[in-house]
Structure 1
Amino acid sequence: MNIEEFREYCTCKKGVTESFPFGENTLVFKVMGKMFALAAIENYPATANLKCDPEWAIELREEHDGLIIPGYHMSKKHWNTVELEPNLPNKLVLELIDHSYDLVVKSLTKKLQTELQNL
């Protein structure tokens, strides 16, 4: 999955905004104001940081050694850095994006969850 495909998939999700709060090379995706993905747009291979359940994060790192690593500049427990291309299947990357988005949505206040639902 290239960076444009990654961006398109993230932005098609409900309540998502994109911005560059950390400089022009790091694209950040938020749902209802809370970050669920960051992408380094100048890197090759393209990489993204995605939130992940801590136990699954460890499994993914072991199964995809070197392609999924502890989150760069993030909480190593809750974030993974994922190599988007060319070695990971797109299906897995999409699943990881969905998982990250869902984790963040579940952590939103009831009020924000209701607002998101009503969008």
Structure 2
Amino acid sequence: MTPEALRELCLSFNAAVEEFPFTPETSVFKVLGKMFALTALDAEPLKVNLKCEPEQAVRLREEHEAVAPGYHMNKRHWNTVTAGGPGGLPDALLRELVEDSYDLVVAGLPRAERLRLDRP
């Protein structure tokens, strides 16, 4: 997956925005003020931190070399995923993990905000 494709994917979700609270090189993708993805889009290889259910996070780390505990994040709830290229995660699985991260964050929002997003 290219950096442009990752940005486009992250911004395709309802109410998703890109912010730069840490450095100009670090993109933080949020939904209603809550982070669901963090990446340096110009990094080689491209890596992204994604929220994950704890049991799934452990399973993914065991199954894929491209998945590691979240760098500078709560390692129970976040994974750092290497995108595409040699040794990277396939694009389809990466898209699924980005969507799962977004859904997990939305699920933690107050009901009124979830309803504004048209999500149960």
Q: TM-score band (shorter)?
A: over 0.9
Following superposition, the deviation at residue 96 of structure 1 comes to 0.2
Q: What secondary structure does 1:23 align onto?
A: coil
How many positions carry a matched residue from both structures? 117
Query: Alignment identity in percent?
Result: 50
Give CA deviations for 1:23-69 in whole Å, capped at 9, x if unaligned.
1111000011110001112310000000001000001001112x110
Paired with 1:68 and 1:54, the residues of 2 have a C-alpha distance of: 13
1:69 paired residue number:
68
Q: What secondary structure does 1:117 align onto?
A: coil
Paired with 1:88 and 1:42, the residues of 2 have a C-alpha distance of: 18
Paired with 2:103 and 2:30, the residues of 1 have a C-alpha distance of: 12
Paired with 1:88 and 1:103, the residues of 2 have a C-alpha distance of: 20
Following superposition, the deviation at residue 116 of structure 1 comes to 1.6
2:115 paired residue number:
114
**Pairwise CA RMSD:** 1.2
1:81 paired residue number:
80
Paired with 1:77 and 1:59, the residues of 2 have a C-alpha distance of: 12
Higher relative contact order structure (alpha carbons within 8 Å, sequence separation ≥ 6): 1
TM, length-normalised to structure 2: 0.93
Paired with 1:17 and 1:76, the residues of 2 have a C-alpha distance of: 24
Q: Is the deviation greater in 80-89 or in 50-59?
A: 80-89
Paired with 1:108 and 1:53, the residues of 2 have a C-alpha distance of: 16
Q: What are structure 2's unaligned runs of at least 5 residues?
A: none
